[in-house]
Amino acid sequence: MINSVRNTVLSILNKNNYGYISPSDFNLYAKQAQLEIFDDYFNQYNKTINLENARRSGTGYGNKLKTIEEMIDTFSRFDPLTQVTPSTNEYFLPSPTTTGFDYYNIITVTCYDITGNLLGEAEKVTHNAINMLNSSMLTSPSTMFPAYTQAGDKITVYPDSINGAASVKATYIRYPKDPKWTYVSIGGGEPVFDQSQLDYQDFEFPIEEETNLIIKILQYAGLSIREAQVVTYASTEEVKQQQQ
């Protein structure tokens, strides 16, 4: 899809001699456009939940909530977390260097014993709360009812007896991979699309989002080349999409 999006963007820009965007600029705009659409999934999800609670949502083929959930589920992961140091109860949150992905939202943190048996889902608590909980035998976290605190890119799991290399796993929503239009240069001419490159990465959205991607990339391109007509055109098309 990324090559189709780029060709359409360049065609619109070239049609009225608005200018040209390089492959590196296109990849930058594509990344921002993808993140913008990705973030909007969660805004749409919240709005649709509110409509459903107000009994104003559709059903069957018109069930928008189900469609949004399916889109978000595409980015759902369940991965073991990497220990900060061996035999400690500190674990790194998902990242490109640990799980291979940056996380957008942590859904659940689950704990296991050293043999791999599920202990339970850990409850997230504040640092102040964990101090209060640990001060009492009755409320302190246990292997049956674990808890965790978060600080930066790490979590600390309680009780500290949960400290195995594979004792903590997380269900989370990851960010989409950065799109990259890759190419080869032939005879000093226009770059030619080449998806065989090792760093090639297509958009991670369904084909239905192609129009939205084109519109948003045009908005970024128009701002970059300081062409108000491009921004206006893209904004008008965006409004049309939202009204459909």
The rounded distance, in Å, linking the Cα atoms of 157 and 163 is 8
Q: 13-17, 60-64, 195-199 — which is least confidently predicted?
A: 60-64
Alpha helix (H) residue ranges in the chain: 2-15, 23-53, 64-73, 127-134, 210-224, 228-243
Which among 175, 129, 164 is positioned nearest to 148, based on CA atoms? Answer: 129
Tell me what percent of the residues of the chain surpass a pLDDT of 90: 51
Average pLDDT of span 122-139: 87
Q: Which two tokens stand for residue 38?
A: 């990705």
Q: In the predicted model, what is the mean pLDDT of the chain?
A: 84
pLDDT band for position 230 (50/70/90)? Answer: very low
| Each residue's pLDDT tens digit, 14-29 | 776 666 788 999 999 9
Four-CA torsion 60, 61, 63, 64, nearest 10 degrees: 170
Whether 227 has a pLDDT exceeding 60, the answer reads no
CB 206 within 8 A of CB 53: no
The rounded distance, in Å, linking the Cα atoms of 180 and 127 is 40
Contact partners, residue 1, CB within 8 Å, separation at least 6: 202, 203, 205, 207, 210, 213
